[in-house]
Amino acid sequence: MIQQQYIENRLSAHELLERIRPLGHAILLDSSQPTSVSGRFDIISAAPDRLIRFTQKGLSVVDGDQKPLDADTLLPFDYLDQCLAELGTIQPNDETPFCGGLIGIFGYDLGRALETLPEQAEADIDFPWLLVGRYLWAIVIDHQLGTCRLVSHPMTDPALLAEVTYLISATQLASTEAFQLVSPFNSNLSASDYRDALQRINDYIHAGDCYQINFAQRFKATYQGDPWHAYKALRQVAPTPFAAFMDMPEGAILSLSPERFLLSEADGRVETRPIKGTRPRGNTPERDKQLAQELSDSAKDRAENLMIVDLLRNDLSRSCKPGSIEVPALFSIEHYPNVHHMVSVVCGQLKESTSPLELLRDAFPGGSITGAPKIRAMEIIDELEPQRRSIYCGSIGYISCCGRMDTSITIRTLLCQNDSIYCWAGGGIVADSNIEEEYQETFNKVNNLINCLQGLSKAQP
């Protein structure tokens, strides 16, 4: 049985993260309540008893004291399955989403462990393809019920739980350096390079290689200070239901993602919510409504969205029962601080012999950020994007021993590493895409994030 201890001091998720952060490898899965359009739970944890890394060189594992452990396999999903199986299956008597299990990031380049892909793009960011911890405890905030609990698996070290309890009640917190940019963000593509790449994609589409390619540019700047301060500021301007902060030795990840990749409930129900179709917010209520309606009525965006819905129906069918795939919502419009998005919902029922990790493996990476058909789209992305995507368009989330999994698509996501900060923005390119509009859309998606960080820098003395 899991142990649950109610926390009555009503600290926010951000305040709780600040208290347990000294334990190391801290992580926050942030629903951005109460300002987000959806989301129910915040999950905060640190000090995993295992940390699993997978790179081009293979699998490596350390325990909670950072001592290397032998891995029985070099296949990352097989090892994750073993780690989860060791915890057994726990069925809570309530809706607790996380009872101990795996939390971390599955980078886009993990797709190279699943498919044979070319190696044309430069691999200039040294970050693991997969970085996942096995966390035996978590602070879970339930915004629907208004509760905050410290939830722990029976294998949790009692001394660690005592330390967590002490840190939660701490009144004196260590101060860290304010965040500021040292240089402006610059793209890895000039405007002319971007246009040339889109023309090449158009050639591939008309040659019959593909129907859609998700093409992205990367922005890079240098910074100093604590990325946590940057995350808190970004969260204010971009409250999204699948936000996350990861504080790892390899770097800090600041994710403001609006997109769910895969939800798998304990009863086997599966859901994915692909986003395809974007418009900026208007400067007046009338213009804002007009832009939202324009997106809703757009035949191009509906066609683009439908292509990805069909791709994801196919991906889910590999793991779900025949006949169980449904599309309960098609072409819905969701509203965020800087953009309107077109969102669809695809659902299914897992086969009895299939685990959530198998579902994740079989559908990875998400089709909404590759294009269709998926493998050919990934080949073209590797050819035309100058650098590999690293964490961008991968997935952040958890897989609990209670049978529940929830993961995001890591769009609107930044990586802070070695005094450099990276962010990406892309869009789906189809036969009738307008190059100038697609180029501008990439800026519409990240301008609020970049402007926020630039504002922090100007605010420093």
Catalytic residues: 259, 276
- In angstroms, rounded to a whole number, what is the distance separating the alpha carbons of residues 271 and 366? 13
For residue 117, CA distances in Å to 182, 188, 308, 375, 391 come to: 36, 22, 21, 8, 17
The closest alpha carbon to 28, from 181, 308, 248, belongs to 248
Distance CA 108, CA 370 (A): 10
CA distances from 280 to 30, 235, 341, 454 (A): 24, 19, 9, 20
Q: Which amino acid is at 286?
A: E
* Sign of the Cα pseudo-torsion (347, 348, 354, 358, in order): negative
CB 20 within 8 A of CB 164: yes
Tracing tokens 């021993």 back to the chain, one arrives at: 401
The answer to whether 457 and 180 are in contact (CB under 8 A) is: yes
Q: Evaluate the CA torsion angle 237, 330, 114, 203 in order and state its sign.
A: negative
Would you state the structure tokens that stand for residue 258, as one six-digit string?
A: 């609006």
